[in-house]
Amino acid sequence: MRVGVLALQGDFAAHAARLHALGAVAGPVRTAAELAQVDALVLPGGESTAMLRLMEPEGLLDAIGIRLAAGLPVLATCAGVILLAAGVTPAQRSLAALDADVTRNAYGRQLHSSVARIRLASGLGGPAEMEAVFIRAPRIDRTGPDVEVLAYRDEDPVLVRQGAILAATFHPELGADIRVHGWFLELTATRAA
């Protein structure tokens, strides 16, 4: 099983390093041809409008949309969640693959970045909280009926799952807790079985 990490902009190297540390084969995805070779994909944080511009020459957004519709497992973090959301404020293009509405930079600009304790839904195992790094993070304002909320920051959903999509509004690759990437690899293995 090969996990691709969208490597156009953002902290893609930290995701690849975390996946390697967990025993996964992970490599960069910059082209539609590279996307075709992976069994799962990470959409990292960064700047969503910059990512959209960088995907245009390769038609990568549409290629990702086709793979998502076919069941490709995806871990989206921060800006990656914006790329997947059904609704985005302020409005921008997205794949609308995750039945959720988000507001970009809802927790503040770069200077308001923070580490916060989030609480996990029961059934995920202990500990029941984890530290999460929020950098210009989007806020999930609405989730659809098929979206399972796995973690909250105060009352805001910050980690959700819908089918083969695991979406975190924070940066799990920058924290010490490896569980989000572990859950993604479990999800990917389950979908492949």
Residues designated as active site: 78, 171, 173
Torsion angle defined by CA atoms of residues 57, 45, 18 and 191, in that order, rounded to the nearest 10 degrees = -70
Neighbours of 19 (CB within 10 A): 24
Alpha helices per DSSP H over the chain: 12-21, 32-35, 48-55, 60-69, 79-84, 179-192
Torsion angle defined by CA atoms of residues 180, 182, 184 and 189, in that order, rounded to the nearest 10 degrees = -170
Two tokens, residue 166: 């695991």
